[in-house]
Amino acid sequence: MERKELANSHRAHVLVLPHNAQGHINPSIQFAKRLASKGLKVTVATTIDIKPNQTEINSIRVEPICNLDEHVADLYDTKAYFGCVQTVFSRALTECIERHENSGDPFCCLIYDSILPWCLDIAKRFGLYGAPFFTQPCGIGTIFYYVQKGELSVPLEDSSVSLPGLPKFELSDLPSFVSDSVSYPGSLELLSNQFSNLEKVDWVLINTFETLEPELVSWMKGLWPVKTIGPSVPSMYVDKLIKDDKNYGLSFWAPDGATCLKWLDTKPTRSVVYASMGSIAELGLEHMEEMAWRLRRSNNYFLWVVREAEKKKLPSNFIEETIEKGLIMNWCPLLEVLAHEAVGCFVTHCGWNSTVEALSIGVPMVTMPQWADQPTNAKYVEDVWGVGVRAKADEKGIVRREEIELCIREVMERERGKEIRKNAGKWRELAIEALDVGGSSNNNIEDFVATLMKM
Ligand code: UDP
């Protein structure tokens, strides 16, 4: 393959393009910081609606390349949405690469979100290396790979699924795009397409670590040039190799860290239940009521992230009536909160970032998966890694108050909770080990950087 010649005076310059969602931006930006800390020059291309605090974050450059909102018609029609993303990003990405070439500051490699596989053609057109970045773990990827290969046919015919290398899944453990493919045809296609051109890429970068999914990682390495680089979380919570790296640095919402942390400081060790459903999931009215009822009557303090748009679903006067016991926030610095000693358990929707952040910090989880990859992450949390319990939903998809209470008690008070905490500590150590000097993810990142530096 032809490569762009770089003058010796240039540091190898890499362009990172995340998909425009918080759960994709966070791990990408974190990976970008790691590359920069090892000597690469890194630019992260964003859309203009996400505002960085500054145009440089830990020495990576942030460059808004387009205004997606201006063009995107229907956020809820996945096919139409991603068709639009492709049109807008293709043009903006091409212009960005050309702009940098013309100003004598060219890129040598494009790292793009794996759900945007058409980026590879753009990278190759400019003679750049191309590497998809998977923001989800191997366990999730494998399911969509089987779908793409036609080895798992959907709609599913059976009520459980056994696939090589994966635990046995009941329907409720599978990504909703697979278990309920009729409702999400566009998303199933999007996720399966991640695997449509991997034979042509230069690397496959995955936000996981070898000891977390050893068999799958080694199987995938036999198929593609895989490099596990995770957990892609701010360094100060794990290996501490990147100085002052405490937050991702790019957020759609401004976290009110001071209020959360000040409040947590007043609470005893492991007395607080922290609940967050991530950046996208929305609980229905009845579900919010069940959750609110339970938290109000629980023995524990609670810190609950309810995004502004969701607040109208809270029972009336809930905030005022629970002021002694609870704090409701729009958005928190999630890692700082998880790392606070007052937090005893994390009630989570099990988005992969929230999950891997809790694993990295060693916080036991009560999982309440809603959709997408969350049910499968929850299955791994409970049955494979043993770091939490899953709160079971009823036939309407609602987790009832008794179930929430039972699970929180299990984690905070019971014998099983001790076991979970012990496991959580073990995974935390392994996560740190992977990122630390000599660890698998650290070595993979160094190899990747060394290859680009040699150009
Ligand atoms: N997050 C945060 N503050 C909050 C809630 C979430 O900073 O109050 C971050 C969280 O740390 C994670 C991301 O938002 O990095 C959410 O990604 P995830 O994959 O967990 O879920 P998604 O939002 O994609 O469903």
Taking only the tens place, the pLDDT of each residue in 378-387 is 999 999 999 9
**Ligand 1 center–CA 448 separation, angstroms:** 27
Each domain of the chain, given as residue ranges in start order, spans 13-249+435-453, 257-431
Q: Identify the pLDDT of residue 101.
A: 96
Q: Using 50, 70 and 90 to split pLDDT, how confident is the model at 6?
A: very low
What fold, for 257-431?
A: Rossmann fold (3.40.50)
**Ligand 1 center–CA 376 separation, angstroms:** 17
Pocket test for ligand 1, best of 260, 308, 353 (most atoms within 8 A of CB): 353
pLDDT at 438 over 60: yes
**Ligand 1 center–CA 95 separation, angstroms:** 30
Q: Identify the pLDDT of residue 208.
A: 98
**Residue 36 burial by CB count (10 A; 0-12/13-18/19+): exposed, middle or buried?**
buried
Give the residue whose CA is nearest to atom 10 of ligand 1: 354
**Ligand 1 center–CA 41 separation, angstroms:** 27
Q: Identify the pLDDT of residue 65.
A: 94
Q: Which protein residues are within 6 Å of ligand 1, measured from CB?
A: 22-23, 26, 255, 276, 278-281, 305, 331-332, 334, 351-354, 357
* Secondary structure of the chain in HEC code, one letter for each residue: CCCCCCCCCCCCEEEEECCCCHHHHHHHHHHHHHHHHCCCEEEEEEECCCEECCCEECCEEEEEEECCCCCCCCCCCHHHHHHHHHHHHHHHHHHHHHHHHHCCCCCCEEEEECCCCCHHHHHHHCCCEEEEEECCCHHHHHHHHHHHHCCCCCCCCCCEECCCCCCCEEHHHCCHHHHCCCCCHHHHHHHHHHHCCHHHCCCEEECCCCCCCHHHHHHHHHHCCEEECCCCCCHHHCCCCCCCCCCCCEECCCCCHHHHHHHHHCCCCCCEEEEECCCCCCCCHHHHHHHHHHHHHCCCEEEEECCHHHHHHCCCCHHHHCCCCEEEECCCCHHHHHCCCCEEEEEECCCHHHHHHHHHHCCCEEECCCCCCHHHHHHHHHHHCCCEEECCCCCCCCCCHHHHHHHHHHHHCCHHHHHHHHHHHHHHHHHHHHHCCCCHHHHHHHHHHHHHHCC
Least confident of 49-58, 311-320, 443-452: 49-58
Does 257-431 match 13-249+435-453 at the fold level?
A: yes
pTM: 0.96
pLDDT at 25 over 70: yes
pLDDT at 167 over 90: yes
Pocket test for ligand 1, best of 20, 22, 283 (most atoms within 8 A of CB): 22
**pLDDT tens for each residue of 224-266:** 999 999 999 999 999 999 999 999 988 888 888 999 999 999 9
Query: Is 13-249+435-453 assigned to CATH 2.60.120.260?
Result: no
Q: Using 50, 70 and 90 to split pLDDT, how confident is the model at 53?
A: low
**Ligand 1 center–CA 123 separation, angstroms:** 29
Pocket test for ligand 1, best of 238, 310, 334 (most atoms within 8 A of CB): 334
Q: Identify the pLDDT of residue 7.
A: 39
pLDDT at 158 over 50: yes
pLDDT at 401 over 80: yes
Q: Using 50, 70 and 90 to split pLDDT, how confident is the model at 130?
A: very high
pLDDT at 12 over 90: yes
